[in-house]
Amino acid sequence: MDRQPRWHDFLTINIQWFGLATRSQVLSPLIVPVLVQRFVGDSVKGTYVGRMRLWALMAAVLTQAAMGMLSDRSTSRWGRRRPFIAIGTIGELAILALIGVAAALEGMTGYWALFGLYILSMIASNTAHAATQGLIPDLVPEDQRGRFSGVKALLELPVPLVFASFVVARMVEAGNIWGALIALMVVMVVCAAITMFAPERQLSQRPTDSTVQLLLRLALMAAAFTVIILGTGAAVSAVMRGIAPLSDGLSSVLIVAAGVAGMAAAILAGVWICVSIGLGSDVREHHGFVWWVVTRLAFLAAATNLATFMIYHLQERFPSLAGEEAAGPAARIVMFVGLFIMVTTVPSGWLADRFGKRLLVGLSGAVAAAGVSVILLIPAMPAIYAGGSLIGAAMGLFYSASWALGTEIVPQDEAGRYLGLSNIAGAGAGAIGAYLGGPIGDEYGYVVLFVIYGAMFLLSILALAGVKEKVAHA
């Protein structure tokens, strides 16, 4: 940016996060679980959601990393990022319309149609996502990134969560899938249009390194991450078969241990191997970046999938909430999460600039783990709302402080490339937590699965030991 930021820059640089996050909050925790349950039935619903999310999110990992790198190199007169945002949004609108058509199908025909469309949706949305996350490091001075990241987190989490709860969830609960999809399409068009006014300038000189070589490296990275998740999933499934004859109490303890170990192994191996592939020899100089991605992946593996499987968890804890009827209460929990994210998001940006981003990220993991404990220990809706509120407060702290920490430690001239690679955390979280967790939920219950997610919050704190901030804070 060739001038100091103005008030409206907070909106034009960050508003696209509202559109992207609204899409995520409508599809992943509401429409996809409801449709999958309708297509495949109750006994294997978690397993089939997990399979769908694995392949869709691996496509997201590859797409976001590749498009981040390509937008770094874009010399379009419309700017580096805005053309990718426009193209991704247009593609997503067409795909959402096709999902509306697929919702009328039945059985495995409907499932496989949704499977393919969900993958295409991930490709389109992550084309826009990759470009959007380059805007703050491109345009905002370092001493103001905490504040801009706070506004980003506000538009990325609490606002779309409240919107999804009050507007879209009621449509899904009533079976009005088309209404929910149309509302989502309107949001995405408006947000992308406002983002076109972000103060970008044309890149004068394209980077000289090999684009083809980097793309091949990214494809290998996505393939390696997929193999790691499939391998750990197979190992956890083998444990499940081995402990099946044991008593319920002992088998539940053992499957929690196996689930935590499997997810932790997938997170650590996936990040280290994939970032090493994505960065090549550059990884030796950026161990802090690797551990930052591990921290994000562990935290988001829990947070993302708590939302994904909340409908199924409520159906298990409260038998009166059958089928789509659980969408309303699940959305009200999301509303509490969103409200408390809103309470902590903006001040957390200031607190991160003042006291240190790393401290706030660690605090967020502890508070989120406490919130999961409340949800599990007290089987009443008020307690679940209270636990969701704690998780929301933690997420507000995490999203703002963690993103500000990441934009500080990545190389500034390749922010799109590095932050694109960080989508191993965003997309990989859903893949690891759902693919490994879905079968556990189907077999042992979603209370057991939520215990595992609580442990992932604690793992995110441990991983912070490898992350160092550049600037010491008073």
Q: For the whole model, what pTM was predicted?
A: 0.80
Indicate whether 269 belongs to any domain. Answer: yes
Indicate whether 156 belongs to any domain. Answer: yes
pLDDT given at position 473: 42
Q: Are 12 and 397 in contact (CB under 8 A)?
A: no
Indicate whether 472 belongs to any domain. Answer: no
Q: Extract the runs of DSSP E, i.e. beta strands, from 127-233.
A: none
Q: Look at the block and give the residue holding tokens 């690679």.
A: 421
Question: Which one is predicted more confidently, 359 or 5?
Answer: 359
CA distances from 390 to 164, 333, 393, 419 (A): 19, 11, 5, 28
Nearest Cα neighbor of 44 from 467, 338, 442, 382 is 442
CA distances from 261 to 132, 253, 257, 333 (A): 34, 12, 6, 29
Indicate whether 357 belongs to any domain. Answer: yes
For 343-372, how does the pLDDT look when each residue is reduced to its tens digit (9 = 90+)? 887 787 777 777 778 888 899 999 999 999
pLDDT given at position 208: 62
pLDDT given at position 69: 80
Question: Which one is predicted more confidently, 303 or 209?
Answer: 303
Indicate whether 474 belongs to any domain. Answer: no
Number of domains present in the structure of the chain: 1
Question: Which one is predicted more confidently, 203 or 363?
Answer: 363
CATH of the domain at 392: 1.20.1250.20
Indicate whether 132 belongs to any domain. Answer: yes
pLDDT band at 472 (very low <50, low <70, confident <90, very high): very low
Is the pLDDT confidence value at 268 over 50? yes
pLDDT band at 474 (very low <50, low <70, confident <90, very high): very low
Cα 104 to Cα 33: distance, rounded to the nearest angstrom? 15
- Annotate 171-205 with b (16+ C-beta within 10 A) or e (fewer): bbbeeebebbbebbbebbeebbebbeebbbeebee
pLDDT band at 431 (very low <50, low <70, confident <90, very high): confident
- Mean of the per-residue pLDDT values of the chain: 85
Q: Are 16 and 85 in contact (CB under 8 A)?
A: yes
Q: Look at the block and give the residue holding tokens 């088309």.
A: 178
Q: Are 429 and 300 in contact (CB under 8 A)?
A: yes
Indicate whether 77 belongs to any domain. Answer: yes
Q: Look at the block and give the residue holding tokens 């009005």.
A: 176
Domain encompassing residue 440? 9-199+210-466
Nearest Cα neighbor of 470 from 360, 358, 361 is 358
Give the max Cα distance, the chain.
Answer: 68
% residues pLDDT > 70 (the chain): 92
- C-alpha 56, offset from chain centre: 12
Indicate whether 205 belongs to any domain. Answer: no
For 107-146, how does the pLDDT look when each residue is reduced to its tens digit (9 = 90+)? 999 999 999 999 999 999 999 998 998 888 888 877 777 7
pLDDT given at position 42: 87
Average pLDDT over residues 178-201: 92
Please state the length of the chain.
Answer: 474
Task: Give 36's contacts (C-beta < 8 A, 6+ positions apart).
Answer: 45, 48, 49, 52, 111, 114
Cα 461 to Cα 358: distance, rounded to the nearest angstrom? 10
Average pLDDT over residues 150-172: 81
Cα 173 to Cα 128: distance, rounded to the nearest angstrom? 29
